[in-house]
Amino acid sequence: MRHTLIAIGLASAMLFGVPAQAGFNEGMTAYKAGNYAVAYKEFDSAAREGDKFAQVMAATMCLEGSGVARDVKQAAYWFEKAANAGHSYAQYAIGMLYMAGDGVSKDTRKGLVWLKASADQGSFFAQTTLGDAYANGIGVTPDKGRALDFYRQAANQNYAVAQLKLASAHYLGDGLPKDPVEAYKWTFLSSSQLDGARSLLAKLRQELTPAQVAEGERAARAWQSQSAQR
């Protein structure tokens, strides 16, 4: 979980369109140049001034021990600050830390609240995690229907992990009727990114009729066309 947060956190924080602010910009320049100690100093200074984007970068660097000694408690502190300021990724990150009890006392209820806040802002990472929570009864009453709703939200943002979970549900009839064509569609869509999807795709091509394969591919390409227009 820690490495996932680090990888996603750095990418997410740098992809946000952020206003030009002293400290944060200098931190990003230093970070991109590999001057991590300087970058952390700039982010930490801007974070203390209330810059939520700097708070996310300072938290992420504390989490990975980049430019500063690894300190998960300090990472959680800055993530929660940014989460309270409405930063979607920070809400996801602090939610995950509460779920795991990493850097904070474990609090599944609080973790789910933060994940829901992030999901409501469109985070497909949070949507997929909430899907897993409802699928497996983690802190909530198991509810396959709600799990699938969250997976669909993430899958419709082209998140391959959620697409494969949705494909598996259609293939197995887990929480909904079996639908090999829908299973093929979602597997096809996720197969460019996930090895597991490629394996399932090969299996489906052996099991389905040529007509079903063709129908699944048409459905996938129609989805891709509609997605490109959004």
Residue 194's pLDDT is what? Answer: 94
Residue 213's pLDDT is what? Answer: 97
Which of 76, 156, 70 is CA-nearest to residue 119?
A: 156
- What token pair was written down for 124? 């497909």
Residue 10's pLDDT is what? Answer: 55
**CB burial class (10 A; 0-12, 13-18, 19+) of residue 162?**
buried
Task: Note the helical H segments in 121-177.
Answer: 124-136, 144-155, 160-172
Which of 211, 185, 171, 4 is CA-nearest to residue 96?
A: 4
Distance of alpha carbon 20 from its chain centroid, rounded? 26
Residue-level pLDDT, tens digit, the chain, 230 residues: 554 554 555 555 554 555 547 689 999 999 999 999 999 999 999 999 999 999 999 999 999 999 999 999 999 999 999 999 999 999 999 999 999 999 999 999 999 999 999 999 999 999 999 999 999 999 999 999 999 999 999 999 999 999 999 999 999 999 999 999 999 999 999 999 999 999 999 999 999 999 999 999 999 999 999 988 87
Residue 3's pLDDT is what? Answer: 47
**CB burial class (10 A; 0-12, 13-18, 19+) of residue 99?**
buried
How distant, in Å, are the alpha carbons of 24, 25, 36, 60 from that of 40? Answer: 10, 12, 6, 10
Residue 146's pLDDT is what? Answer: 97
Q: H or E element: which one contains 219? A: helix 210-228
Q: How far apart are CA 44 and CA 75, in angstroms?
A: 11
